[in-house]
Structure 1
Amino acid sequence: MYLFHYYDKRSGPFRSLTMLSNDDALAILEKIKKERPNSFASQRDMNYIVNRSNCEAIVRAKAKEKGIIMDIESPYYFVIGACDWLKSWYEYPEIISIPIGEFDTSKISFTYGDSMPTFSPRVNDGKEYRKKVYTYEEILSIIEKYGLPQEWNVDGAKGPERYIEAQVWTNSPVERYKCAAEFFGKSEI
């Protein structure tokens, strides 16, 4: 199994608006809207930062309840397996894939689907994986039961789940991959 991280090659990998102050995050979002009008992020409204931070706080609390170890306050976001749809989010998409064996899985939480719709009050379809955070062992059971969303919901017609999100709560091995990516490609935003 591999964890995949998608990003715009002009920005570089492993950048998250929730790692910034609210003012800095809003400034970056505004810059993205102006300079990258065809990106998925440019379509987000200015409430996105608050909504994402609130969602992340819920995930953090639920992950702590599950015993997930957190070395950092804001996670790095990955998905389990390749998801071609995520390439469409970026004008110049790049991907880093890392074998799950390189991670300490006790420092990763998972949501079946993106965490934003998973915890959205607007999504109330009664599916068992809504409003839940999983450990590595638990997500394996959910995958066995339901499969990977990117395989059965390629076009999003069957609901908001298009992939399984992994929240990595540590810098290891992320920093090594980040340094390698920055060495081979220039980061601007």
Structure 2
Amino acid sequence: MEMLYHYYEKALGPFRNLSDLPAAEAEEVLGAIRREKEVMASRRPEGYLERRRELEQLARDMFTAKGGKPVRTAPHYMVVGECDWLKSWYAEGESVKIPLACFDTGTLSFSYGDLFPTFSSRVQDGREYRGQVYTYYEILQLIEKYGLPQIWNKDGTGGPERYIEVQVWDDGPLKSLLEGIDN
């Protein structure tokens, strides 16, 4: 695991985070995305933002209980390794890759798959990584055991996990990329 990737809409730039906005403003932004109907995010259901905030708090609490040291209230999102499927979510998808070495691993938590299916009551397949958030060393063990989902589950037929999500709990390593972004 050498590189972390972040996928985004080219016209908007990287690390535009709905969770950084007040709830009403985040709903307005999501509403505009839904009206455009050009990208995957336009299909997010009602209640998405509330559930996202619940999952982010749950992930933060679980990570902190394991000794994690989050700085941010809500994470930025990256993935372990390249994932072409994520790029397809956007009208003009782009990505940035940042070496893992740029991060303090104590500010990174991981889920084997996106937080939503990882903590969904509808996903009842008994896989050990459901309902879990991992530290850096724990995710290394899981990768050793199962590999990267974007390799073994490229088409999604093996379950909802298509990548390993990284919750980035510190803006420090992203500072140069975040400069100039209006939040």
Same fold, TM-score > 0.5, yes or no: yes
Partner of 1:102: 102
Shift of residue 188, structure 1, vs aligned partner: 8.6
- In percent, how many aligned pairs have the same letter? 48
Deviations, residues 18-42 of structure 1 (Å, cap 9, x unaligned): 111111110000111223x120001
* Aligned structure 1 segments of 4 or more residues deviating by more than 6 angstroms: none
Indicate the SS of the match to 2:172: coil
Alpha-carbon RMSD: 1.4
1:55 maps to 55
Letter matched to residue 82 of structure 1: E
**TM-score when scaled to structure 1?**
0.92
Quote how far apart the aligned CAs of 1:12 are. 1.3
Looking at structure 1, the residues matched to 79 and 46 of structure 2 have their Cα atoms a distance apart, in angstroms, of: 25
- Higher mean C-alpha deviation, range 16-25 or range 157-166: 16-25
Kindly indicate whether residue 13 of structure 2 is the aligned counterpart of residue 12 of structure 1. yes
Kindly tell me the number of residue pairs found equivalent between the two proteins: 182
| Conservation of the 8 A alpha-carbon contact between 1:12 and 1:188 | no
Q: TM-score, normalised by structure 2?
A: 0.95
Name the counterpart of 1:32. Answer: 33
Q: Give runs of aligned pairs for residues 136-147 of structure 1, distance below 5 A.
A: 136-147=136-147
Aligned equivalent of 2:43: 43
CA gap 1:62/1:188 in 2 versus in 1, 3 angstroms: closer
> Which segments of 5 or more consecutive residues in structure 2 lack a partner in the other structure?
none
State the distance in 2 between where 1:159 and 1:153 align: 7
1:119 aligned partner = 119
Ranges in structure 1 where 5+ consecutive residues have no aligned partner = none
